[in-house]
Structure 1
């Protein structure tokens, strides 16, 4: 009998990957806190996870003419879930990174990343014990 890792691991694998991607975006934001004109980016985790699991929400756009533009969010990274963050207090130089918010979001994401890791670890331990017949 074959084991499907996709069904065995569930949504935890996708959540783990998205947490890693979000950590990268937040680290980029913190690295560019003093760069004039830099726009802070973030990942809408719920929307990204829903898209990854096949659930869609919102409006579905249909192109009825060859000259219609494709709908949806776009970003320079090519990921439709990456969006620009709206600052609470804009800076004069156009930079939208707020260091205290980035640090808080990074720490929350790190805790969620650790939780996803523990869920995956538990799933693998369960698979290992099932294979051993324990």
Structure 2
């Protein structure tokens, strides 16, 4: 049972991080025409490693009072985000490459969906295993 729980926890963290990465990519696309906008991304592997406890998260802000606003689940601080560099400098210093961002958005969407399907399959298998033989 512990193995199933840890597997589901891992995939729940991955899902949260995929959603955060999707938000970052969408922000990049939305700012494609903003002069001086620097495209941002995250190192998904490193973020997942940190989220699952393989490394301690450094520099994370803690909510010390119930009146403080907590960051959304999976949100990365500015120091944890990477700057994307485009293949060619633009005159307005905007580093958004729409082709790269659209490809990253599509790839991240597919991986998000795959993680959801894995979680659903695991829960379905567990439900089937718990069903008594007389229930069919």
Provide the TM-score with structure 2 as the length reference: 0.73
- Secondary structure of residue in 2 paired with 1:11: helix
Provide the TM-score with structure 1 as the length reference: 0.74
Aligned to 1:82: 81
Aligned to 2:10: 11
Aligned to 1:27: 26
Aligned to 1:70: none
Question: Which structure shows the higher helix fraction?
Answer: 2
1:56 pairs with 2:49: no
CA 1:54–1:16: 2 relative to 1, 3 Å? same
RMSD: 2.6
Which 4+ runs in 1 deviate beyond 3 A?
Answer: 2-6
CA 1:47–1:129: 2 relative to 1, 3 Å? same
Unaligned runs of 5+ in 2: 59-75
Aligned to 1:64: none
How is 1:82-121 mapped onto 2 (pairs within 5 angstroms)? 82-121=81-120
Deviation at 1:79, TM superposition (A): 5.6
Deviation at 1:83, TM superposition (A): 1.5
**Residues matched between the structures, number:** 115
